[in-house]
A and B are shown apart, each in its own frame.
Chain A
Amino acid sequence: MWALRAFALGLAACALVAGSAAAAVGVTADVRGWAPFELAVGPLSLLSFERTGASTSFELGPGLLAVALAGGLANALAAALLLRRRRL
């Protein structure tokens, strides 16, 4: 139960932080008139910002899900280590 809870909390926390950070970067890029760009981790896109004429768009990519999953796994692993240390 603790492992599932740790995984879920880590996943949710990382998803929230990464999503909000990406959105904040997108809003900043839009207002400041940045050139189009794409943030990615390897093949997975985190955020892509596009400008077409007067309109702009930013899209949160599947890389954010990967970041969230990695956060969930890391949190579950850290919880397991903590529990193991406590039992020793």
Chain B
Amino acid sequence: MLVGDDRFSLPEGVTLGDGVLSDAVRGASWPVNPGGVYVLGRAGDPLAAIARGLAATYRIDAERAAADVASFVAGLNSLLLLNVTTPRRWRSWLALAVRLAPLRTLPAPRARRVPLGRRRLRTTAAALAPHALLLGLAVAAPLLAVGLLAAVPAAALGSAAGGGLVLHEAAHVVALRRRPSALVLCGWTVFVLHAPLRGARRALVALSGPLAASAAGVLLVAAAAAADAPTAALAGALLTTHALGATVAARDGRAACGL
């Protein structure tokens, strides 16, 4: 759900021209009607101001204009064609979550697209750092809280979980080489967006993430066995679970099988 203070911007690689929204990363384009062109032309303005402008320009009801703008922007965000920014994001999210609580649902996550231009690995690591940190905390904190592990092993498992996420996505980026790509973050979902690939190349790019992280896990387990380090062995075992990303339960596995 979007609110009036929200603003949107077209991510790098997405351009509007002659009533067509083009995505250089996917090599695809979408036609946009004049109302949509008006909205997209006001990128950076608050949605409430855009809705007022739309209502005045097309002489439509203000409420309908607000609903149209919100659904148009939400639709393009779900197509990964624009990024939405919210002032005081966490406060807004909490307020919305409280309002939605009677419906037993949470606010829908918004997709954020991070362009991968130069310094692709550094950009990937920087963009994923908050996710990696949260994932690490989500793994370590419960283990620590219930007393299943001491602080050091719990921290090691948390680091393996967070580091594995970064390693996994970085491997996809490396396998794509110089192909146009963008990192997409949507709630807990993270993936690398790129143009459709075919055959062996598609399988290679899809499998590079699970393979890199699980290979690091196997190496860590082997080193831990040699050094009698159980904490490192547990961290390595956790990293190898990335191999399950190669099954059809995950996006990578489905792509590798051509599904």
**Contacting residues, chain B, for A47 (C-beta < 8 A):** none
**B257 interface neighbour in A2, A17, A24, A28, Cβ under 8 Å:** A2
Interface string of A57-88 (1 = CB under 8 A from B): 00000000000000100010011001100100
Give Cα distance in the complex from A17 to B249, angstroms: 15
| Contact, CB under 8 Å: A5 / B257 | yes
Whether a CB of chain A sits under 8 angstroms from the CB of B243 is yes
A-B contact count (CB 8 A): 94
Q: Which residues of chain B in 179-212 are interfacial with respect to chain A, using CB atoms and an 8 Å cutoff? A: 203, 207, 210
B234 close to chain A: CB less than 8 A: yes
* Docked complex Cα distance between A20 and B258 (Å): 28
Q: Is B136 an interface residue (CB 8 A)?
A: no
Given the interface pairs A13-B210, A16-B218, the reply to whether A27 lies near B257 with Cβ below 8 Å is: no
Q: Complex formed: what's the CA distance from A30 to B214 in Å?
A: 23
CB contacts (< 8 Å) of B173 on chain A: these are none
Are the C-beta atoms of B237 and A20 separated by less than 8 Å?
A: yes
| A73 CB, min distance to chain B CBs, angstroms | 12
**C-alpha gap A16/B224 in the complex (Å):** 16
Residues of A within 8 A of B234 (CB): 24, 28
Q: How far is the CB of A46 from chain B (nearest CB, A)?
A: 14
Q: Which of B210, B218, B249 makes the CB contact (< 8 A) with A20? A: B218
Residue of B228, B230, B257, B259 contacting most chain A CB atoms (<10 Å): B257
CB of B247 within 8 A of CB of A78, answer yes
The closest CB in chain B to the CB of A5 belongs to: B257
Closest beta carbon of chain A to B237's beta carbon, Å: 4
B164 within 8 A of A: no
Q: Report the bound CA distance from A23 to B238 in whole Å.
A: 12
Q: How far is the CB of B204 from chain A (nearest CB, A)?
A: 13
A5 & B233 in contact (Cβ 8 Å cutoff): no
Shortest CB distance A27–B (Å): 4
Across the interface, which residues of A come within 8 angstroms of B245, CB to CB?
13
Q: Decide if B52 is an interface residue (CB 8 Å cutoff).
A: no
The smallest C-beta distance from B182 to any residue of chain A, in angstroms, reads: 26
CA distance A1 to B203 in the complex (A): 13
CB pair B257–A9 under 8 Å, yes or no, is yes
Is A79 within 8 A of B259, CB to CB? yes
Docked-complex contact A83 and B259, CB < 8 angstroms:
yes
A1 to B237, CA, bound (A): 30
- The answer to whether A28 and B230 touch across the interface, beta carbons within 8 angstroms, is yes
**Judging by beta carbons under 8 Å apart, are A17 and B248 in contact?**
no
Question: Which A residues are in CB contact (< 8 Å) with B247?
Answer: 6, 9-10, 13, 71, 75, 78
Contact A9 B228, CB 8 Å, known A2-B258, A17-B244 = no
Question: Can you sample 17 A-B contacts with CB below 8 Å?
Answer: A1-B258, A5-B256, A5-B257, A5-B258, A12-B243, A12-B246, A16-B243, A17-B237, A17-B243, A21-B240, A24-B230, A24-B237, A26-B225, A27-B229, A75-B247, A75-B248, A78-B248
**Residue positions of B touching A, CB distance < 8 A:** 203, 207, 210, 214, 217-218, 221-222, 224-225, 228-230, 233-234, 236-237, 240-241, 243-249, 253-254, 256-259
Q: 9 tightest CB-CB pairs across the interface, nearest first?
A: A24-B233, A24-B237, A20-B240, A28-B230, A13-B243, A27-B233, A16-B243, A20-B237, A9-B246
Starting from the known contacts A28-B234, A71-B247, 14 additional A-B residue pairs (CB-CB under 8 Å) come to: A2-B258, A5-B257, A9-B257, A16-B214, A17-B214, A20-B218, A20-B237, A21-B240, A24-B233, A75-B253, A78-B247, A79-B254, A82-B254, A83-B259
